[in-house]
Amino acid sequence: MIAATGFEKRNVAVLGLGKSGLATVRSLEAGGAKVFAWDDAPAKRDEAAKEGFLLVDSSDWDWQSLAAMILSPGIPFTHPEPHPAVKRAQAEGVEVIGDIELFQRAVKASGKPARVVAITGTNGKSTTTALIGHMVRRCGGNAQVGGNIGKAVLELDEPEASTVYVVEVSSYQIDLAPSLAPNVAVLLNITPDHIDRHGTVEHYADVKARIFAHQCEADTAVIGIDDGFTSDICTRELAKRVEKVVPVSVGKTISRGIYALGGQLYDSLGTQTVKAGDLSAIKTLAGAHNWQNAAAAYATGRALGYQRERILAAFESFPGLAHRMEIVGEADGIRYVNDSKATNADAASKALATYENIYWIIGGKAKEGGISSLEEWFPRIRRAYLIGEAASAFAETLRGKVEAIHCGTLDRAIDAASRDAAADSAELKVVLLSPACASFDQFKSFEERGDVFRATVQERLATKGGAAA
């Protein structure tokens, strides 16, 4: 655990007691602060009480005595309206920050030459974070991976000389980290998202861009340039420090930066462009979206001083991110892919764009817009297997375009898809769980849904003598 610094014998309030909030209370107490904790949800308060934390209703906080308020990223800071406690803190002149800010201050105060890599973007940041962490370990570094993925950032180990913190940061977390200054900052892409929490997509993009705001001349900015927002941000950063900004692109040649064409990775940061490696054969990095993730990770590895060959060797051994195009088994020309994290159509489109001969398991609790936006990928789908609440609505969208079978439950869908794929003479068939839906009609989370898919597939394969991943 990282002990928060700067608040010894001072009063600090923590609002929001989810995973990161509880870790924040522990960190502050380890640093000598007196913490007043609160969550508007009784169940969260009960969990905090079990750890013996001091619970005080936010409406009863002694604002004059507070040195800071630490806000969970899940609680509105600006939009659609600040939480009442945020308004009160601002009126009283109490700083409102998040756990990423406490982390940044603690690392700086340690005096250790640990390095921080921070990754953000609308899509792909979890895979990129996991890939960079894997790369750091394979290249000999002490990778501490967390933030918006896995461990809460303050649960990571204290900094050491060899530590490389690989931290996924959401726009909410950046908004609450006014001094965030990563040694390497990665911005992958920006598409409209979380508008309810940022007001406009322009404000959302501005918040994402703050990941670069406090970098110094020695720090590196890795920026995807394949959408208008990130392209503009890259142009602005290049104007400040051209040598330390690395543009990243997929599908087009760029004169300076890292880019991927047809699964081939190219490095044009030196005096001449060199082919850095072949991504097309790496199953866990399949598809153009993963090539962007790999290009950004490669640029990060080079910024950290790793050799090209070691970076590519690390990519080849990357196991993939659980529930995100995770290959969970393969037998008789059938590949089973767990993409349970695809809880909306945009996320599902990445897997559909990657594979052909797809036996698609889809459904759950539908998101706004359904799956009509995925029509361009329908020719890749051999048959769809419908589960959950969205089955009837999705059947209407697919009518006359993709043959669909109502299966109801995930296990029946797996069995039906496996039988149909086994009868297909294509060299590679893919049974794909990419639901384009939330899981809450039948499962507690997308993780539970993906775990059930993995366990069921691997049980079936073990019975038949197939290979589980």
Q: Which positions are annotated as active-site residues?
A: 125, 148, 194
Separation between Cα atoms, residue 201 and residue 193, nearest integer Å? 7
* Residue linked to tokens 């870790």: 23
E strand or H helix at 229, and its extent? helix 228-241
CA distances from 169 to 147, 186, 188, 227, 236 (A): 6, 10, 12, 20, 21
Residue 384 tokens read as 């769809």
Q: Please say whether the beta carbons of 4 and 46 come within 8 A.
A: no
Tell me the Ramachandran region of residue 157: left when phi exceeds 0, alpha when psi lies from -120 to 50, beta otherwise: beta
* Residue linked to tokens 């898919």: 453
Nearest CA to 172 out of 340, 60, 21 is that of 21
Separation between Cα atoms, residue 259 and residue 257, nearest integer Å? 7
Cα R_g (the chain), whole angstroms = 23
Residue 63 tokens read as 């604002």
Separation between Cα atoms, residue 431 and residue 382, nearest integer Å? 10
Q: What are phi and psi of 167, to 5 degrees?
A: -120, 120
Separation between Cα atoms, residue 338 and residue 61, nearest integer Å? 46
Tell me the Ramachandran region of residue 100: left when phi exceeds 0, alpha when psi lies from -120 to 50, beta otherwise: alpha
* Residue linked to tokens 């939009």: 79
